[in-house]
Structure 1
């Protein structure tokens, strides 16, 4: 077990803080041990701490969940930001062991190009100061993701078959070498190019690499399929030409539809019929499902993607039917979102909930009481709720909901939503509306014992049907 005296002298060491009973720790164990064995030859050490035994040490290191991984450099800790599979751990730690930009020579070029899946090498003379500065800037920013090298000698460029000045992306997939054709001194353009060329035309996506795609800033095009589907590989091969045509505008992936069926449903696919296709624009919070690929997946997907690229494809917005309003709280659905929420005359307070969420169940009677408190002021204040598992937030909302309950307030005459992060009590909600609302509606509440209020909420939750939380 590492203690401060163990990590302090180490130039680089990765430490896992774990608990033996933790399922995620057990899943990580074989990958972590395999990576530790492989990295021995690189003189990179991996260690682990059992936090059920070393409680004080884990508290000192601010370990709040398991497993927690930290990279230590001479005793100074930094959160580990890499994948949690063997290959990803090895790749990440090899990058950590190197400077942001490694020196590459004629003799080391071949070995350096093969060190990782994506290796970026600049062939620049020492006099190309602006280019070197821009390249180094990008390398410092993305050292955890890619391997960067610099060759200054003219014979290195000659050996590589490159006309300097140049930046080359070497890859273990698709075309093995891709040359950057823009201005090297333009660090933003160089960064964009590297991100674009660092992903395969079509790769399998999962928890280990999803963030790579999310951070790329491009819409994600998913081919959902059963891994056992007989035409899977043939379809993926055919889709590569479409992916290449739209490279830089969309990233294409294939995904295990059986394992990640909930993700498919989240993109408004039915979750039952495969293969299927969908485009997700994470930046705009929009989704475009294509359930039926017909007999020709290549043509169906090609036409669909072309419509998306032209901007003629309308996003899919899931909505419950418009309900009759017979309760104290307005039941909001996606089809009425713009009509209700964007009404400039009214302040609006909305709870976005999930039916299975325990915190939402506890809040329900309090939120109903809030609706009743403003029942005579509906022309100025709307208290609403939306089932965010059955309704999408339209693009006009400008936000997405990732946890429950999410409570937002919009002042009349504005488009900005304010996150409510205060206490979930009737008094606190009323005070918030009075302070932030444009219409300055104030209501008088009958004296209510807060413990009684909470007891009522707990009683309602106690008798509610139980659901497993996601």
Structure 2
């Protein structure tokens, strides 16, 4: 217990220390403090805001990381509910947190970068000084390349050659995403061989025996350079973070475990090297990565994992974005076999699904992942399907309307179906980004779902379905008017 209290006290002290690096701005000191700094990232926040609370420790950590940077970067915050009300109004802050970049006391641009510490640091460092750092000595390049970041470096004796101009142009366009350096120092050029070349130096902590630590660009155009960087930046097995998640394309195999290059780099690379051994055999056939299990618990949950032990958990997606999991305990042999079967299409996809309802006779049918094809695709009826979330207020409001429409169409060749998209895997052809999301599927064109974006009252649904039904409805004409029944 005593040891736990000591650890907690140290953690609190570290957080408090990091927070001291964040400037506290008010209406009274906003301009005067910002004038003292060339570049400042300002967070406008409200103490009660959940997103602000989540950002706060990352923001403080970022402030600590850039402390002492040259060119200097400052991070500041303004409480929009108390001493910074007027300032927040002046800059039209309407949501929290809002982040803006200032040059002196003048706003330069809205911040649109990552919301975790390393991402914030990388984004802000790209905002100050030139896009590429000019290295002037051997000692300087040694320090510059001793970093946790991968670096794109230009060696140019003549800054006017075509490759040098290409490098500068590419660096200017990508300064927020990549780290750049260049040199024309004779000693630096002599150490790294021939001049007029662009080299990608992978971060030293990712060095391994399965691939080169640096790769030279052999092309001559901007598109070739862009492709070169994308294909080589992360190497055979990249460190996939929330900041880099979009860099990794399907088919994708990810090892989730305690990835920590700050506190445990050796332990992290112990497992990464085993993944590398397999990845080397499938070069250009699949993408491999490692991810910290704590940072991607939401992804693990999607595959039914609530806990990851000491050994990595292997999860994958194929080119169709279907999900797969290595069921056996992690080993090089099991991983190799898993990847071979994945690429050959021999694996059964993992499907998150609620149980199939024992009784599905209500007017609105219930679809789960396991019966989706039966209830929606192969029901031989026109179908209107709603993807909802149990906690969604709009979904709750729609529920009685949907029920009433289904009751009115009970004797028609039309089914209304609902599916809890938080408890079931949604087929990839349905682009569900919010709730509720509805799609119309004509019975003879189930491969082409149409997004329903009309009104959400009973009459709105009836009119839409009557108009688009494959066969005219029995009880309604094409305009949605009820047909009169002869006595």
Q: TM-score normalised to the size of structure 2?
A: 0.74
- Between the aligned partners of 1:261 and 1:34, the Cα distance in structure 2 is 22
Paired residues of 2:275 and 2:332 also in contact (CA < 8 A): yes
- Between the aligned partners of 1:76 and 1:276, the Cα distance in structure 2 is 44
- Between the aligned partners of 2:464 and 2:165, the Cα distance in structure 1 is 50
Match of 1:349 in 2: 384
Match of 2:190 in 1: 158
Tell me which of 11, 14, 17 is aligned to 2:41: 14
Give the C-alpha shift of residue 350 in structure 1: 0.7
- Between the aligned partners of 1:221 and 1:367, the Cα distance in structure 2 is 40
Match of 2:441 in 1: 410
Alignment of 1:119-268 (within 5 A): 119-124=151-156, 125-129=158-162, 131-132=163-164, 134-151=166-183, 156-162=188-194, 164-175=196-207, 177-185=213-221, 187-199=222-234, 209-225=241-257, 234-246=270-282, 249-256=286-293, 261-267=297-303
Alignment of 1:51-62 (within 5 A): 51-53=80-82, 54-62=84-92
Moved more, 305-314 or 337-346: 337-346
Q: Structure 1's 163 and 385: CA in aligned 2 closer, same or farther, altered over 3 A? A: same
- Between the aligned partners of 2:453 and 2:203, the Cα distance in structure 1 is 46
Paired residues of 1:278 and 1:287 also in contact (CA < 8 A): no
Q: Structure 1's 182 and 420: CA in aligned 2 closer, same or farther, altered over 3 A? A: farther
Residue 401 of structure 1 pairs with residue 432 of structure 2 = yes
SS of residue matched to 2:109: strand
Residue 297 of structure 1 pairs with residue 334 of structure 2 = no
Alignment of 1:27-42 (within 5 A): 27-41=54-68, 42=70
- Between the aligned partners of 2:227 and 2:40, the Cα distance in structure 1 is 31
Give the C-alpha shift of residue 234 in structure 1: 4.8
Q: Structure 1's 91 and 211: CA in aligned 2 closer, same or farther, altered over 3 A? A: closer
Q: Which runs of 5+ in 1 are unaligned?
A: 447-470
Paired residues of 2:217 and 2:225 also in contact (CA < 8 A): no
Moved more, 385-394 or 195-204: 195-204
- Between the aligned partners of 2:436 and 2:281, the Cα distance in structure 1 is 42
Paired residues of 1:104 and 1:149 also in contact (CA < 8 A): yes
Q: TM-score normalised to the size of structure 1?
A: 0.76
Q: Which runs of 5+ in 2 are unaligned?
A: 1-24, 261-266
Give the C-alpha shift of residue 117 in structure 1: 1.3
Residue 317 of structure 1 pairs with residue 351 of structure 2 = yes
Residue 45 of structure 1 pairs with residue 74 of structure 2 = yes
Q: How many residues align?
A: 430
Give the C-alpha shift of residue 232 in structure 1: 8.1
Deviations 1:340-392 (A, max 9, x none): 544697542110123344433332211111212222222xx332112223432
SS of residue matched to 1:371: helix
Tell me which of 40, 44, 68 is aligned to 2:98: 68
Paired residues of 2:271 and 2:312 also in contact (CA < 8 A): no
Paired residues of 2:113 and 2:119 also in contact (CA < 8 A): no
Q: Structure 1's 132 and 193: CA in aligned 2 closer, same or farther, altered over 3 A? A: same
Q: Structure 1's 100 and 445: CA in aligned 2 closer, same or farther, altered over 3 A? A: farther
Alignment of 1:275-294 (within 5 A): 275=311, 277-281=313-317, 284-293=320-329
Match of 1:453 in 2: none
Paired residues of 2:42 and 2:78 also in contact (CA < 8 A): yes
